[in-house]
Amino acid sequence: MSEKAADLPEELQLLTEAHVKYIQSLDTRKDDYEYWLTEHLRLNGLYWGLTALHILGDPDALPRDETINFVLSCQHENGGFGAAPGHDAHMLSTVSAVQILAMVDALDELEARGKGNGKAQVGKYISDLQNRQTGTFAGDEWGEHDTRFLYGALNALSLLRLLDLVDVDKAVDHIAACANFDGGYGSGPGAESHAAQIFTCVAALSIAGRKDLIDTDRLGRWLSERQVGRGGLNGRPEKQEDSCYSWWVLSSLEMIGKIHWIDRDSLIAFILSCQDPQGGGIADRPGDMVDVWHTVFSITGLSLLGYPGLQPVDEVYCLPKSTVERVLGW
């Protein structure tokens, strides 16, 4: 995309300043009932907001020291992280913690100030959640498992350079068993194809170096068919469009080299129509309430589409490309 954002018509303007202020305000709303209802998402929410700020080109909009201190306050002695201080450790919170520390270049703080034995203890927490017979990963000690946790494990362990702690081949075998006739993937063998689960499987195969297992033409066709009337994308057939699928669908299309199979301009127009011009933030559909989840996955989707002024996002890790290059030495 060669044009400049300032040259675009008003309806195609990304309201960057408003979105930055919206994200900055999220941790100041402690008198709101909704703030406490979402405590179980606090660490994930910090990852979503920080990622959006980095892609918007304002990585210092949240104070770095406070960010690091909060992340470390969520860690348990077993190496895992809870959603907030006092919450049980969980795979998803642990992955967000690693991603946040990677973004602010603070993974070494796990050695200096983390609980337990630094990065090694985080890696052990994650690897202990793998079932070595099936290759699957549980979300926590209670045993629920699906491909979200498998992808999260490979994401975080590769960022920590500890991927050798798990049986990657067994994990790949499990993903292959989740493949469907339509080219997509479900949460487990036999489950219907869903765009978000497809992302987890395709990204995990990318990290494992096994994209050769993907039927790219069939999958690309299924993903491109997610674009509906107003230009937005849905997660599965017969569902409404939703701005967050701008990430889940596009990232997978990018990984298999088929992102040009969707109508880029109409998708950009749909995403931008979901913005709140007064308070900032992006909703699932025009006129709905905004939230940080839809904000980040809309902005990362715009980045994949080459919207001007945004920083490049890595389609596998959902982190700034600059972060992935720095951490993995690419």
Rounded to the nearest angstrom, the gap between the alpha carbon of residue 231 and the centroid of all alpha carbons in its chain is 22
Rounded to whole angstroms, how far apart are CA atoms 247 and 265?
15
Q: Give 191: exposed, middle or buried? Use CB within 10 Å, 0-12, 13-18, 19+.
A: middle
More confident residue, 21 or 229: 21
Residue 188 burial (CB count, 10 A) = 14
Give this prediction's pTM: 0.94
Whole-number pLDDT of residue 123: 97
For the record, the structure tokens of 186 come out as 């479900």
Question: Which among 183, 92, 330, 100 has a CA at the least distance from the CA of 322?
Answer: 330
The secondary structure of 129-148 as a DSSP string is TB-TTT--BBSSTT--B-HH
Rounded to whole angstroms, how far apart are CA atoms 46 and 32?
17
The tens digit of pLDDT for each residue in 85-95 reads: 999 999 999 99
Asked if the model's pLDDT at residue 96 lies above 90, the reply is: yes
Question: 3 falls in which pLDDT band (50, 70, 90)?
Answer: low
Question: Which among 266, 261, 259, 273 has a CA at the least distance from the CA of 231?
Answer: 266
Whole-number pLDDT of residue 156: 98
Question: 33 falls in which pLDDT band (50, 70, 90)?
Answer: very low
Question: Which among 225, 224, 254 has a CA at the least distance from the CA of 316?
Answer: 254
Whole-number pLDDT of residue 126: 97
CATH class of 21-328: mainly alpha
> Where do the H-state alpha helices sit in the chain?
16-25, 33-37, 42-55, 64-73, 91-103, 109-112, 118-127, 147-159, 168-177, 195-208, 216-224, 245-255, 264-273, 292-304, 321-328
Asked if the model's pLDDT at residue 104 lies above 50, the reply is: yes
Whole-number pLDDT of residue 35: 53
Question: 58 falls in which pLDDT band (50, 70, 90)?
Answer: very high
Q: Give 257: exposed, middle or buried? Use CB within 10 Å, 0-12, 13-18, 19+.
A: exposed
The tens digit of pLDDT for each residue in 294-307 reads: 999 999 999 999 99
Q: Where are the domains of the chain?
A: 21-328
Distance, first Cα to last Cα, the chain: 24
Question: Which among 90, 64, 77 has a CA at the least distance from the CA of 118?
Answer: 77
Rounded to whole angstroms, how far apart are CA atoms 318 and 116?
27
Task: Answer yes or no: are the C-beta atoms of 324 and 99 closer than 8 Å.
Answer: no
For the record, the structure tokens of 125 come out as 């927490």
Whole-number pLDDT of residue 116: 78
Q: How long, in residues, is the chain?
A: 330
Question: 1 falls in which pLDDT band (50, 70, 90)?
Answer: very low
Q: What does the pLDDT average to over 101-105?
A: 98
Asked if the model's pLDDT at residue 175 lies above 70, the reply is: yes
**Residue 255: HSE in the Cβ half-sphere, 13 Å Cα cutoff:** 30
Measured in degrees and rounded to the nearest 5, phi and psi for residue 179 equal -70, 145
